[in-house]
Amino acid sequence: MQKEIIFSGKGGQGLGVMGRILAMAAVLDGKEVASSVSYGGEVTGGLSQSEVIISDEKIDFPAVLNPDILILLSQESYDKFAPGTDRKALLFCDPSFVNPGQTSEGLRILWVPAAEKAVGSFGRNQFANIVMLGAVVAITQIVRPESVIQVIIEEFERKNPELNEQAFGIGLQIERQPCDYHLCDSANCLKARLRSGEAPLS
Protein backbone atom coordinates (compact mmCIF):
# COMPACT_ATOMS: atom_id res chain seq x y z
CA MET A 1 0.00 0.00 0.00
CA GLN A 2 1.28 3.43 -0.88
CA LYS A 3 -0.34 6.67 0.26
CA GLU A 4 0.57 10.07 -1.12
CA ILE A 5 -0.25 13.03 1.05
CA ILE A 6 -0.07 16.75 0.36
CA PHE A 7 -0.23 19.48 2.97
CA SER A 8 -0.81 22.85 1.41
CA GLY A 9 -1.58 26.32 2.62
CA LYS A 10 0.20 29.55 3.42
CA GLY A 11 3.83 29.67 4.50
CA GLY A 12 3.82 29.89 8.30
CA GLN A 13 0.81 27.65 8.99
CA GLY A 14 3.08 24.83 10.06
CA LEU A 15 2.74 22.64 6.98
CA GLY A 16 6.34 21.52 7.12
CA VAL A 17 5.97 20.52 10.76
CA MET A 18 2.79 18.55 10.02
CA GLY A 19 4.52 16.69 7.22
CA ARG A 20 7.57 16.04 9.31
CA ILE A 21 5.64 14.70 12.29
CA LEU A 22 3.55 12.44 10.10
CA ALA A 23 6.61 11.17 8.24
CA MET A 24 8.57 10.48 11.41
CA ALA A 25 5.61 8.67 12.93
CA ALA A 26 5.48 6.48 9.83
CA VAL A 27 9.20 5.73 10.22
CA LEU A 28 8.47 4.61 13.79
CA ASP A 29 5.75 2.38 12.38
CA GLY A 30 8.42 0.76 10.18
CA LYS A 31 7.12 2.18 6.91
CA GLU A 32 9.12 3.49 3.97
CA VAL A 33 8.82 7.26 3.86
CA ALA A 34 9.80 10.06 1.49
CA SER A 35 9.00 13.66 2.24
CA SER A 36 9.88 17.04 0.84
CA VAL A 37 8.89 20.61 1.63
CA SER A 38 8.61 23.48 -0.82
CA TYR A 39 11.87 25.36 -0.77
CA GLY A 40 12.94 28.83 -1.76
CA GLY A 41 12.67 32.45 -0.74
CA GLU A 42 9.32 33.01 -2.44
CA VAL A 43 7.27 30.69 -0.19
CA THR A 44 7.10 32.80 2.99
CA GLY A 45 3.49 33.94 3.26
CA GLY A 46 2.76 32.58 -0.19
CA LEU A 47 1.59 29.17 -1.31
CA SER A 48 3.58 26.57 0.53
CA GLN A 49 3.36 22.83 0.56
CA SER A 50 4.78 19.72 2.09
CA GLU A 51 4.55 16.23 0.64
CA VAL A 52 4.73 12.87 2.34
CA ILE A 53 4.68 9.42 0.78
CA ILE A 54 4.15 6.47 3.10
CA SER A 55 4.56 3.00 1.69
CA ASP A 56 5.02 -0.61 2.72
CA GLU A 57 7.51 -1.12 -0.08
CA LYS A 58 10.51 0.80 -1.35
CA ILE A 59 9.39 4.08 -2.92
CA ASP A 60 10.41 4.37 -6.57
CA PHE A 61 9.60 7.98 -7.21
CA PRO A 62 9.81 10.20 -4.13
CA ALA A 63 7.50 13.04 -5.20
CA VAL A 64 3.71 12.99 -5.12
CA LEU A 65 2.05 12.22 -8.46
CA ASN A 66 -1.56 11.41 -7.49
CA PRO A 67 -2.35 12.51 -3.95
CA ASP A 68 -4.64 10.21 -1.93
CA ILE A 69 -4.99 12.63 0.94
CA LEU A 70 -4.87 16.42 0.72
CA ILE A 71 -4.86 18.80 3.64
CA LEU A 72 -5.74 22.21 2.28
CA LEU A 73 -5.42 25.15 4.63
CA SER A 74 -5.97 28.14 2.36
CA GLN A 75 -8.31 29.14 -0.43
CA GLU A 76 -5.36 29.50 -2.79
CA SER A 77 -4.19 25.95 -2.14
CA TYR A 78 -7.75 24.65 -2.54
CA ASP A 79 -8.04 26.40 -5.88
CA LYS A 80 -4.74 24.96 -6.98
CA PHE A 81 -5.21 21.32 -5.98
CA ALA A 82 -8.94 20.58 -5.87
CA PRO A 83 -9.70 20.80 -9.62
CA GLY A 84 -7.13 18.19 -10.69
CA THR A 85 -7.63 15.85 -7.78
CA ASP A 86 -8.68 12.26 -8.18
CA ARG A 87 -12.33 11.71 -7.15
CA LYS A 88 -11.24 8.96 -4.77
CA ALA A 89 -8.95 11.27 -2.79
CA LEU A 90 -9.85 12.55 0.64
CA LEU A 91 -9.67 16.30 1.14
CA PHE A 92 -9.33 17.80 4.59
CA CYS A 93 -10.29 21.46 4.63
CA ASP A 94 -10.60 23.95 7.44
CA PRO A 95 -13.73 26.10 6.99
CA SER A 96 -11.85 29.00 8.63
CA PHE A 97 -9.54 29.16 5.62
CA VAL A 98 -11.41 27.56 2.72
CA ASN A 99 -14.77 28.96 1.70
CA PRO A 100 -17.28 26.07 1.73
CA GLY A 101 -19.52 27.98 -0.65
CA GLN A 102 -17.01 27.77 -3.45
CA THR A 103 -16.15 24.07 -3.37
CA SER A 104 -16.75 21.93 -6.39
CA GLU A 105 -19.15 19.01 -6.52
CA GLY A 106 -18.13 15.39 -6.39
CA LEU A 107 -15.07 15.77 -4.18
CA ARG A 108 -14.81 13.89 -0.93
CA ILE A 109 -14.24 16.77 1.44
CA LEU A 110 -14.01 16.46 5.21
CA TRP A 111 -14.50 19.75 6.99
CA VAL A 112 -12.37 19.93 10.09
CA PRO A 113 -12.81 23.11 12.15
CA ALA A 114 -9.23 22.87 13.42
CA ALA A 115 -8.58 26.60 13.82
CA GLU A 116 -11.88 27.05 15.66
CA LYS A 117 -11.09 24.18 18.04
CA ALA A 118 -7.57 25.48 18.61
CA VAL A 119 -8.84 28.96 19.44
CA GLY A 120 -11.51 27.42 21.69
CA SER A 121 -8.99 25.37 23.67
CA PHE A 122 -5.82 27.46 23.63
CA GLY A 123 -7.10 30.93 22.85
CA ARG A 124 -5.05 31.10 19.64
CA ASN A 125 -4.89 29.16 16.43
CA GLN A 126 -1.19 28.34 16.75
CA PHE A 127 -1.96 24.66 17.30
CA ALA A 128 -4.49 24.40 14.48
CA ASN A 129 -2.09 22.36 12.38
CA ILE A 130 -1.65 19.72 15.08
CA VAL A 131 -5.43 19.57 15.67
CA MET A 132 -5.84 19.01 11.94
CA LEU A 133 -3.15 16.35 11.98
CA GLY A 134 -5.03 14.57 14.77
CA ALA A 135 -8.18 14.50 12.67
CA VAL A 136 -6.27 13.23 9.62
CA VAL A 137 -4.59 10.45 11.59
CA ALA A 138 -7.86 9.43 13.28
CA ILE A 139 -9.85 9.26 10.09
CA THR A 140 -7.29 7.78 7.69
CA GLN A 141 -5.42 5.63 10.24
CA ILE A 142 -2.33 6.10 8.15
CA VAL A 143 -0.03 5.97 11.18
CA ARG A 144 -0.55 4.88 14.76
CA PRO A 145 -1.54 7.81 16.99
CA GLU A 146 0.93 6.60 19.64
CA SER A 147 3.77 7.03 17.13
CA VAL A 148 2.71 10.62 16.50
CA ILE A 149 2.66 11.34 20.23
CA GLN A 150 6.10 9.76 20.58
CA VAL A 151 7.43 12.01 17.82
CA ILE A 152 5.86 15.09 19.41
CA ILE A 153 7.42 14.27 22.77
CA GLU A 154 10.85 13.13 21.58
CA GLU A 155 11.61 15.19 18.51
CA PHE A 156 9.80 18.39 19.39
CA GLU A 157 10.67 18.42 23.06
CA ARG A 158 11.64 22.07 23.04
CA LYS A 159 8.48 23.15 21.27
CA ASN A 160 5.76 22.80 23.86
CA PRO A 161 5.19 19.05 23.65
CA GLU A 162 2.41 19.06 26.29
CA LEU A 163 0.25 21.55 24.43
CA ASN A 164 0.96 19.88 21.10
CA GLU A 165 0.01 16.51 22.53
CA GLN A 166 -3.19 18.04 23.87
CA ALA A 167 -3.94 19.61 20.48
CA PHE A 168 -3.33 16.27 18.79
CA GLY A 169 -5.79 14.65 21.22
CA ILE A 170 -8.43 17.22 20.35
CA GLY A 171 -7.90 16.41 16.69
CA LEU A 172 -8.19 12.68 17.33
CA GLN A 173 -11.55 13.18 19.01
CA ILE A 174 -13.04 14.98 16.04
CA GLU A 175 -13.39 11.59 14.40
CA ARG A 176 -15.40 10.18 17.28
CA GLN A 177 -17.57 13.20 17.86
CA PRO A 178 -21.03 13.31 16.36
CA CYS A 179 -20.83 15.24 13.17
CA ASP A 180 -22.90 18.24 14.11
CA TYR A 181 -20.99 20.69 12.05
CA HIS A 182 -23.31 22.82 9.96
CA LEU A 183 -21.51 22.02 6.70
CA CYS A 184 -22.18 18.34 6.94
CA ASP A 185 -25.15 16.73 5.29
CA SER A 186 -26.04 14.48 8.22
CA ALA A 187 -28.04 11.99 6.16
CA ASN A 188 -25.02 11.37 4.00
CA CYS A 189 -22.17 12.09 6.42
CA LEU A 190 -18.81 11.15 4.88
CA LYS A 191 -17.16 10.76 8.26
CA ALA A 192 -19.86 8.34 9.41
CA ARG A 193 -19.63 6.40 6.17
CA LEU A 194 -15.84 6.17 6.41
CA ARG A 195 -16.17 5.03 10.02
CA SER A 196 -18.68 2.33 9.23
CA GLY A 197 -16.64 1.14 6.27
CA GLU A 198 -19.47 2.03 3.92
CA ALA A 199 -17.21 4.43 2.07
CA PRO A 200 -13.68 3.25 1.19
CA LEU A 201 -10.69 5.19 2.54
CA SER A 202 -9.38 5.58 -0.97
Partner 1 sequence: MQHRISIDHLLCRGCNLCLEVCPKEIFQDSAVIGSGGFRLKQVVSPEKCTGCGLCELCCPGAISLDCLPDEVFATILAGRESRRTQSQSRGGWKEVKSLLQPGRYFMTGNDAIVEAALAVGCRFFSGYPITPANEILEGMARRLKEVGGKFIQAEDEIASIFMVLGASWAGLKALTATAGPGFALMQEGLSLADMAEVPCVVINVQRAGPSTGQATRPAAMDMREARYGSHGGVERIVLYPESVQEVLDLTIEAFNMAERFRTPVILLSDGYLSHLSEKVELSEHIRVYDRIYVPGKPAFGPTPDFSAPSMPRFGDGENVGVTGSTHDRFGKRATADPSVQESLVFHLDRKILEHREELTDCEELFLEDAETAVVAFGTVGRSAKWAVKEARRLGKPVGLLRPRIVYPFPSLRVRELAGAVRKFVVPEMNQGQMFHVVSEKVSREVVSLPQPNGQIIDPRRILRYLIEGVW
Of 17, 23, 91, 138, the one binding partner 1 by CB under 8 A: 23
Of 11, 37, 150, 169, the one binding partner 1 by CB under 8 A: 37
Distance from C-alpha of 23 to C-alpha of 127, rounded to nearest angstrom: 18
Of 1, 2, 12, 63, the one binding partner 1 by CB under 8 A: 63
Assess contact for 168 and 136: CB atoms under 8 A. Answer: no
Q: Give, in order, the Cα–Cα distances in Å from 89 to each of 3, 39, 120, 136.
A: 10, 25, 29, 13
The string of DSSP letters for 48-73 reads: EEEEEEEESS--SS-S-SS-SEEEE-
Of 8, 13, 35, 49, the one binding partner 1 by CB under 8 A: 35
Residue of 111, 116, 124, 114 whose CA lies nearest to 180: 111
65 versus 187: smaller Cβ distance to partner 1: 65
Of 11, 36, 183, 184, the one binding partner 1 by CB under 8 A: 36
Distance from C-alpha of 151 to C-alpha of 167, rounded to nearest angstrom: 14
Asked if residue 143 binds partner 1 (CB under 8 A), the reply is: no
Distance from C-alpha of 140 to C-alpha of 152, rounded to nearest angstrom: 19
Residues from 67 through 126 that contact partner 1 (CB under 8 A): none
Residue of 98, 176, 93 whose CA lies nearest to 139: 176
Nearest approach in angstroms of CB 122 to partner 1 is: 28
Q: Which stretch binds partner 1 (CB under 8 A): 56-64, 75-83, 101-109, 133-141?
A: 56-64
Residue of 79, 80, 81, 60 whose CA lies nearest to 69: 81
Half-sphere exposure of 126 (CA within 13 A, CB side): 8
Residues from 3 through 22 that contact partner 1 (CB under 8 A): 20
34 versus 167: smaller Cβ distance to partner 1: 34
27 versus 47: smaller Cβ distance to partner 1: 27
Asked if residue 32 binds partner 1 (CB under 8 A), the reply is: yes
32 versus 79: smaller Cβ distance to partner 1: 32
Binding site for partner 1 (CB under 8 A): 20, 23-24, 27, 30-37, 39-41, 59-63, 65
